[in-house]
Amino acid sequence: MKKKITLLFILIAGFANAQLKSTGNVALGTNMTANMTLNNATSIVTLTLVGPNDRWFAVQFGSFNGGMEAATDVVYWNGTTLVDAVHVGIGAAPTTDSTNNWTLVTNTNNAPATGQRTLVYTRPFSTGDSNDYTFNFADNTLDLALAKHQTASFSMANHGTSSSNRTLALDVSLVLGIDDFSLNASTVYPNPSNGNFTITTKTFLKSVDVYNINGALIKSYKVADSSENIEFNITDLPSGVYLLELKNDTDKTWKKVIIE
């Protein structure tokens, strides 16, 4: 059964041009939540998905009428990675897309404190893949369906009908958000790229340090001005995964980038 959720509209004077819309944290049972935030400035959607460590969990999104419907976009945690897929209907495993268009930001194992895992992934509004839902910032609602396996298993199967495991289909209001002016809200795009990146930030950025995936410092750059869009070139580095440490006098954050 579909459930209508209306979330509080948040708008504070001085932030009338906010570029974020979010579903807020949508819960299934006691140990699974999903949050989708749309950034109109970068045309990037951020998915924060929390679920149990010992079984698969999934979220389907887009525009649909029921639960896990065929031909709808879905992602699920398989114990190793977030799988980009398209649903083929109840009782069958989703079909994996030929290209995974979701980029990992963080993967945090919260056990043993909570027995949960927190995943943060990003994806462009439009990927050009016919299997992928195209997000539209002008939309006021987004349909979500959440599910997880009823027992500890990563084998894709019917997730059961109990209140703690069933598919929960929601018509969720996308709420205009308040702009985040911390360094954590900075974005780096396109990502992946050939080494030419743009860093977009709404606060002063003083320096950028580049590390390899093993944590070794490779380069350090000083930022000359406080422009919101900073062109950043590391085309001289070989293909691979790198970590950028963005810093100013009071704040710092990490961003992962991929050079193809």
* Average pLDDT over every residue of 162-187: 57
Instruction: Decide: helix, strand or coil at residue 184.
Output: helix
Query: Would you state the pLDDT for residue 227?
Result: 61
Does pLDDT of 198 surpass 50? yes
C-beta separation of 40 from 207 below 8 A: no
Q: What does the pLDDT average to over 6-10?
A: 30
Comparing CA positions, the residue from 180, 202, 198 lying closest to residue 244 is 198
pLDDT tens, residue by residue, 114-148: 688 889 999 999 999 999 999 998 888 888 888 88
3-state secondary structure of 4: strand
Q: Which domains does the chain have, with CATH numbers?
A: 2-176 (2.60.40), 183-259 (2.60.40.3080)
Residues 252 and 221 sit within 8 Å (Cβ to Cβ): no
Q: Are 78 and 96 in contact (CB under 8 A)?
A: no
Query: Chain-wide mean pLDDT for the chain?
Result: 79
Residues contacting residue 216 through CB under 8 Å, at least 6 positions apart: none
Least confident interval from 44-48, 122-126, 149-153, 183-187: 183-187
The Cα 181–Cα 163 span in angstroms is 39
Comparing CA positions, the residue from 42, 37, 76 lying closest to residue 167 is: 76
Who has greater pLDDT, 30 or 149?
Answer: 149
In the structure, what pLDDT confidence band is assigned to residue 2 with cuts at 50, 70 and 90?
very low
- Summarize the confidence of residues 24-43 as an average pLDDT: 83
Structure tokens at 169: 């289909």
CB atoms within 10 A of CB 109: 12
Q: In what order do the strands lie in the sheet with 240-247?
A: 217-222, 207-212, 240-247, 252-259
Q: What is the pLDDT of residues 85-105, one digit of tens each?
A: 998 877 778 899 999 999 998
Query: pLDDT at position 174, please?
Result: 58
Q: Assess contact for 224 and 190: CB atoms under 8 A.
A: no
Distance CA 184, CA 56 (A): 29
CA distance linking residue 55 with residue 17, whole number of Å: 41
Residue 183 DSSP one-character state: G
Between CA 126 and CA 146 the distance in angstroms is 22
Query: Side chain identity at 255, as an amino acid letter?
Result: K
Residues 236-247 have a mean pLDDT of 91
